[in-house]
Structure 1
Amino acid sequence: MSTSTAPVAPLLYTPKEAAEALRMGRSTVYELMADGTLKYVMRGGSRRIRVADLETFVASLATAN
C-alpha cells in the first residue's frame, strides 16, 4: 500500500520560477516587477510572486493588444 501524497502546487513563486512559468527571461520578470507591472511581496530580503498576481498579469496581456 502506497502512502504517497499528491504534490502541492506552489502559492508563491521566486522570480526564476515565475519566469519559467511565463516562458520569459528572468531579467524580464525583474523589469516587470521594477516598473510595477508585475506585483510581488517581500519576505525577508526575498521577492515572491503570488499565483494570483501571475494570473492577473497574464490576463492583462490579452487586453493590452
Structure 2
Amino acid sequence: MLTKPLLTVQEVADLLKISDDTVREWIHDKSLRAIKFGREWRIVARDLESFLNARANRPEGDGP
C-alpha cells in the first residue's frame, strides 16, 4: 500500500529547515494533512508536496 515511509514532524522540519513547532502549528491549523498514531504525527510525502505546491508563488512548471 505505502511505497514510501511516513514522515515524522522532525523529518519535515529538517527537510524544510524550520522548527518542528511550525510544522505542528500547520497540523493543528489543519493546513498540513497528518495522521496521528498515539501521541505522534506522521505526514505522507504526497500531502507535504501538495501543501508546498499550494503555497508556491509561481505555478508549477512555470520556468524562469
* TM-score (ref. length: structure 2): 0.74
- Unaligned runs of 5+ residues in structure 2 are 59-64
Higher helix fraction (1 or 2)? 1
Matched residue, 1:62: 56
Aligned-residue offset at 1:11: 2.3
Matched residue, 2:15 = 21
Aligned residues: CA RMSD: 2.0
Query: What is the aligned length?
Result: 56
Please identify the structure whose Cα radius of gyration is greater. Answer: 1
Q: Which runs of 5 or more residues in structure 1 are unaligned? A: 1-8
Q: CA deviation at 1:38?
A: 0.5
Identical-pair percentage: 32
